[in-house]
Amino acid sequence: MGQVLIFDADDTLWENNVLFERVIDDFLYWLEHPTLDRAEIRAILNDIEAANAVAHGYGSKVFLRSLGECLERLRERPATTEELRHINELAAALLESRMELVPGVAETLTDLGSRHDLLLLTKGDTDEQQRKLDISGLAHHFRSIHIVAEKDVDTYRRLTQDHKLTPETTWMIGNSPKSDILPARQAGMNAVFIPNDNTWVLEHSELDPDDEGVLRLRKFSELQDHF
């Protein structure tokens, strides 16, 4: 009773990366490279996205930048105005798509909020993440909301200090081993791993199967059985 539950947002509370994957599929189909197959082009794009995440952060603007740079690398020339316009059109769906909550999220947060202290921790572009949160209608469930540039161990330690949290009774809940589970455990918190089939490839990482501080669930609503 009375534990602190910290929630990730993208692909934990609502579907997110599946929208980016649809754009990437359209992008790869449009490129039609004469010698590289889709898997080889995707590997190049993954490398570009990883570099841009470090240099520029996350979100649709950085994603568009990565698509443009990928095109330029494959074409071995600057992108034309028409090509950049087409990329923008492909990615327009990221801003226009309806919010799709993960099944059971609203009901589960209502239930957990009656017994526990709920916080939200998400990374990315501040305006973009706030827009998604506003559309979701979930903001009222959380005592505090934190939109950060990166979710690493220092982020969790700052959150612990700022809110005077007790790590042993604090749980980070998310779908990303890299950003949600591993750094939270390094900061002394417990963690709940809820996989999402569409988790971004750059968020994948191996978890210790013997780590008793990580609770593994199949779906979001199962949180009510444990908290």
Element of type H or E holding 122: strand 117-123
Query: Cα(180)–Cα(190) distance, rounded to whole angstroms?
Result: 10
Token output for 22: 């649809």
> What is residue 33's predicted lDDT score, i.e. its pLDDT?
84
Axis crossing angle, helix 60-75 with helix 17-31, rounded to the nearest 10: 20
Q: What are phi and psi of 62, to 5 degrees?
A: -70, -35
Q: What is the pTM of this model?
A: 0.89
Low-confidence ranges of the chain (pLDDT < 50): none
- pLDDT tens for 38-96 read 999 999 999 999 999 999 999 888 999 999 999 999 999 999 999 999 998 887 877 67
Token output for 39: 């898997």
> What is residue 91's predicted lDDT score, i.e. its pLDDT?
79
Element of type H or E holding 146: strand 144-148
> What is residue 99's predicted lDDT score, i.e. its pLDDT?
80
